[in-house]
Amino acid sequence: MIEISSAAAPLLVQALRDAVRYNEQLLKSQTLRDRADYEQYFMDLTQLFSDIKAEYKRKEVEAGISLEDLL
């Protein structure tokens, strides 16, 4: 696992949250050509988001913002 600073951790959680939301909507679009590629990317992205949330939970007190407030 990578080491994430307490200062960068909230920003990283929010950026990944936004990326997941964006790609979730993109997958609902009827204009995608290579849907399988996007689906695999989305699966990888959501796994990364899950891992980062778990890491953030360990630093939550140090970061000063609860995970629930970020989401």
- Residue pair 19/48 in contact by the 8 Å Cβ criterion: no
Residue range 17-40, pLDDT digits in tens: 999 999 999 888 888 888 888 899
Query: What pLDDT is attached to residue 13?
Result: 95
What are the φ/ψ torsions at residue 32 (nearest 5 degrees)?
A: -70, 135
User: What is the rounded distance in angstroms from the CA atom of residue 46 to the CA atom of residue 62?
Assistant: 24
Assigned token pair, 70 = 């970020």
The most confident of 18-22, 54-58, 61-65, by mean pLDDT: 18-22
How many Å is the maximal CA-CA distance in the chain?
A: 44
CA 28 to chain centre: 18
Q: Which amino acid is at 60?
A: E
pLDDT top residue among 31 and 11: 11
pTM assigned to the model: 0.85
